[in-house]
């Protein structure tokens, strides 16, 4: 009996009509106002009743608990008209008082809600309730994409925050076993119905197993214990494709990017000559030209990635600029560019004008097979220019300490997950004063004219609601980044999913939460 014991770690048996998939780690909180990590955000998405929902498929804002909403012409007053007869999962009535209380709670500094920052000046926001069905939110200043902010504010019973146990969303938190699973139960009082008048959601519940082991996940998916794999690694995609060809989906490029960058921070402990190399635009462009991105996509991602030249993916149709001119693969041009700024070959070793061999290391995180393969391929590509590159894989805490605190690194290869197609969501990466301005964090004043130009363009797009002007500003940033190569974009990994053949209603999108964005309409075949 002991010998026959199956691989352990399974959660409780699946209830009838329950959907199951995995999350990588325990949600840090179930309080929807305090969400500050990805898994908590997923639980909030599945449980929270919100006034507005950003439809991940159409990429448009849709009213949810609100029947209608209106933004004043100066962009500073939002008026929400609630649906009538709304109820929380415990059967109590949901009125404008609950909505106002939930919004005010998010804005309070004591709550520490990360979403409050999206109001820019949360302290100046006022919320009024002229009647039981109307909520009026007044902002001290215009906020770009304010509709989407309300996608992140869960409406809870006034005065009774329940950590997801009483919600107005499709599910409620029913059970949580740390490091094992989170179990959600269907909200019988959810207000939405399908075209035939059937109450949503279809599924009786959701079980989120906490499992950070893609092998185990793929195996259990094949056994039918999971219905979905979100963000499938490319090697497991191929494995499942061989065994269950109809279950895998490749949606093409995602919004995410994989990029490499050099440490250009003046305050870094690197020797002066290395800073000179990395701050030299021609050096960075030459490196970019030497990298064979198609090979990275083909080998590291088994063909499930697309070569990247900009921070905006072609999947982001509204903001991608197909007309940008970026340095493409051209080793001869790279050599010429390096020669023009004093680099020369001594034997097979590249040296700078003062005879120092060009040697540096690329940091990346351990445990990401595709990223390690890319780093190795880049090492080979740069060897063709005479650069001696070492690949160093560190665990995340050690890597982040080097990047964010000591700045003791030469180059880094990492990815960026973009959950919002609006480039304004990335403003903290592009503003030179931001700690997340990776190649040179927290600059007191822009270190270069082109960084100052990026600051101007990003602030300009953040300060206007004129979409054409915003697009022009963002296009300008894309072109500057392509010219200067502060980030050398490598690939856009494809959005890869696995869907159980028993699951109905799946319409995968490249936006988070991927396969489950329409959770209300997902159901298992037997459940009907």
Partner 1 sequence: MKLVGDLLKRFTRMLAIVLLVVIGSTVLVRFAPGYFSDVREMDPRYARSARAELSVESARSNAIIPLLSAEVGGWLRGNAGISRQYDVPVLDLILPRLAVTGSLMLRSIALAWTLALCASLLSSAGPHPSLLWQMPATLLLAIPTAAMATMCLLAGSGGPVLVMSLLLAARDFKFLDRILRKTWLDPHLLYARTQGIGVTRLIRAHILPSIASQLSALATLSIVTALGALAPVEVIFNVPGVGQLAWSAALNRDLPVLLTVTMLMALAVTFAGVISDRPAEWKNA
What are the percentages of helix, strand and coil residues in the chain, rounded to 5?
35, 25, 45
Applying CB under 8 A, what is the total number of residues that bind partner 1?
47
Burial 369-390 (b: 16+ CB within 10 A, else e): ebbbbbbebbbebbeebbbebe
| CA-based nearest residue to 51, from 142, 149, 143 | 149
Phi, psi angles (nearest 5°) of residue 257? -130, 150
Q: Is residue 13 within the footprint of partner 1 (CB under 8 A)?
A: no
CB count in 10 Å sphere of residue 408 = 13
Q: Which x/- pattern over 127-166 shows residues binding partner 1 (rule: CB under 8 A)? A: ----------------------------------------
Stretch that binds partner 1, among 78-86, 411-419, 499-507, 516-524 (CB under 8 A): 411-419
Whether 158 and 138 have beta carbons less than 8 Å apart is answered as no
Cβ neighbours for 48, distance < 8 A, ≥ 6 positions apart: 32, 154, 155, 164, 167, 168, 169
Q: Which two tokens stand for residue 35?
A: 């969400």
Site for partner 1 in 225-244 (CB under 8 A): none
Q: Is residue 405 within the footprint of partner 1 (CB under 8 A)?
A: yes
Q: How far is the CB of 172 from partner 1 (least distance, A)?
A: 21
Question: Alpha-carbon distance 265 to 199, whole Å?
Answer: 56
Looking at the Cβ atoms of 11 and 315, the one nearer to partner 1 is 11
Q: Which x/- pattern over 162-181 shows residues binding partner 1 (rule: CB under 8 A)? A: ---------------xxxx-
Q: Is residue 396 within the footprint of partner 1 (CB under 8 A)?
A: yes
Q: Is residue 429 within the footprint of partner 1 (CB under 8 A)?
A: yes
Q: Is residue 42 within the footprint of partner 1 (CB under 8 A)?
A: no
Q: How far is the CB of 507 from partner 1 (least distance, A)?
A: 25
Q: How far is the CB of 285 from partner 1 (least distance, A)?
A: 25
Q: Is residue 219 within the footprint of partner 1 (CB under 8 A)?
A: yes
Parallel, antiparallel, or unpaired for β 61-63 and 52-54?
antiparallel
Q: How far is the CB of 421 from partner 1 (least distance, A)?
A: 14
Looking at the Cβ atoms of 298 and 402, the one nearer to partner 1 is 402
- Is residue 288 helix, strand or coil? helix
Phi, psi angles (nearest 5°) of residue 192? -85, 150
Instruction: Name the one residue in this structure whose structure tokens are 């509709």.
Output: 147
The DSSP symbol for 228 reads: E
Phi, psi angles (nearest 5°) of residue 173? -70, 120
List the one residue from 16, 73, 196, 215 that touches partner 1 (CB under 8 A): 215
Looking at the Cβ atoms of 5 and 84, the one nearer to partner 1 is 5
Stretch that binds partner 1, among 84-92, 224-232, 398-406, 455-463 (CB under 8 A): 398-406
Q: Is residue 403 within the footprint of partner 1 (CB under 8 A)?
A: yes
Residues that bind partner 1 (CB under 8 A): 2-3, 5-9, 25-26, 28, 36-37, 112, 114, 117, 177-180, 211, 213, 215-216, 219, 394-405, 414, 417, 419, 425-429, 434-436
């Amino acid at each position: 009996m002991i010998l026959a014991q199956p691989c352990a770690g399974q959660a409780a048996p699946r209830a009838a009509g329950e959907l199951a998939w995995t999350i990588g780690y325990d949600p840090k909180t179930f309080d929807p106002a305090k969400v500050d990590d990805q898994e908590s955000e997923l639980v909030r998405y599945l449980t929270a009743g919100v006034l507005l929902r950003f439809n991940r498929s159409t990429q448009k804002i849709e009213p949810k608990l609100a029947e209608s909403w209106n933004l004043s012409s100066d962009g500073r007053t939002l008026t929400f008209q609630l649906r009538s007869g709304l109820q929380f999962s415990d059967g109590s009535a949901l009125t404008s008082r609950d909505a106002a209380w939930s919004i005010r709670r998010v804005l309070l500094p004591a709550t520490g809600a990360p979403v409050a920052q999206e109001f820019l000046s949360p302290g100046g926001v006022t919320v009024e309730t002229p009647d039981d069905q109307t909520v009026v939110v007044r902002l001290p200043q215009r906020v770009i994409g304010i509709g989407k902010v309300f996608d992140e504010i869960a409406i809870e019973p006034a005065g009774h925050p329940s950590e997801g146990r009483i919600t107005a969303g499709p599910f409620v938190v029913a059970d949580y076993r740390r490091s094992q699973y989170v179990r959600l139960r269907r909200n019988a009082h959810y207000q939405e119905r399908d075209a035939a008048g059937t109450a949503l959601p279809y599924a009786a519940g959701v079980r989120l197993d906490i499992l950070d082991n893609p092998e185990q996940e793929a195996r259990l998916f094949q056994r039918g214990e999971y219905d979905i794999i979100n963000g499938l690694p490319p090697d497991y995609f191929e494995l499942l494709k061989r065994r269950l060809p109809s279950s895998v989906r490749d949606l093409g490029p995602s919004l995410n990017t994989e990029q490499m960058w050099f440490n250009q921070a003046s305050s870094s402990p690197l020797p002066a000559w290395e800073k000179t190399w990395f701050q030299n635009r021609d050096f960075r462009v030459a490196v970019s030209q030497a990298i064979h991105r198609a090979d990275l996509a083909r080998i590291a991602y088994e063909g499930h990635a697309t070569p990247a030249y900009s921070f905006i993916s072609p999947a982001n149709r509204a903001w991608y600029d197909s007309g940008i001119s970026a340095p493409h693969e051209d080793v001869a041009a790279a050599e010429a560019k390096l020669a023009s700024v004093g680099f020369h070959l001594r034997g097979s070793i590249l040296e700078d004008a003062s005879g120092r061999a060009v040697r540096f290391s690329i940091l990346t995180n351990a445990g990401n097979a595709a990223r390690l393969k890319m780093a190795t391929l880049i090492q080979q590509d740069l060897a063709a220019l005479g650069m001696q590159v070492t690949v160093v894989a560190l665990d995340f805490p050690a890597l982040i300490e080097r990047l964010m605190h000591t700045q003791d690194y030469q180059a880094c290869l990492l990815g960026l997950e973009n959950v919002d197609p609006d480039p304004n969501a990335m403003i903290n990466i592009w503003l030179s004063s931001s700690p997340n301005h990776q190649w040179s964090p927290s600059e007191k004043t822009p270190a270069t004219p082109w960084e100052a130009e990026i600051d101007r363009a990003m602030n300009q797009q953040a300060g206007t609601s004129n979409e054409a002007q915003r697009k022009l500003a963002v296009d300008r940033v894309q072109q500057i980044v392509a010219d200067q190569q502060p980030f050398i974009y490598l690939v856009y990994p494809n959005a890869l999913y696995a869907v159980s053949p028993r699951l109905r209603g799946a319409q995968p999108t490249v936006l988070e939460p991927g396969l489950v964005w329409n959770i209300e309409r997902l159901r298992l075949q037997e459940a009907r």
